[in-house]
Amino acid sequence: GRTARAERLREQAEAEARAASELERQRSLLHTVLEATADGLVAADRSGRVTTYNQRLVELWGVDPQRLD
């Protein structure tokens, strides 16, 4: 009944919170790795839209970060 449904909803909410936390941890790790490298890196999606880059790219190539966003 209601109790079982409430328990399922609580479990689902907890699982979603764990997944969101893990996603944030992975994003943080990726950011750290990108910024720690000596190389200038840029990533783009299939349509050519820049999805991420590191500060070293800006420094090495003199790229205006606003043009990348």
Query: Quick check: 50 and 63 in contact, CB under 8 A?
Result: no
pLDDT at 1 over 90: no
CA pair distance 48, 67, nearest whole angstrom:
13
pLDDT in tens, 20-36: 999 999 999 999 999 99
pLDDT at 69 over 90: no
Helices marked H in 1-69: 2-36, 55-61, 65-68
pLDDT in tens, 28-60: 999 999 999 999 999 999 999 999 999 999 999
Q: Rounded to whole angstroms, what are the CA distances from 32 to 29, 45, 51, 53, 69? A: 5, 20, 16, 12, 19
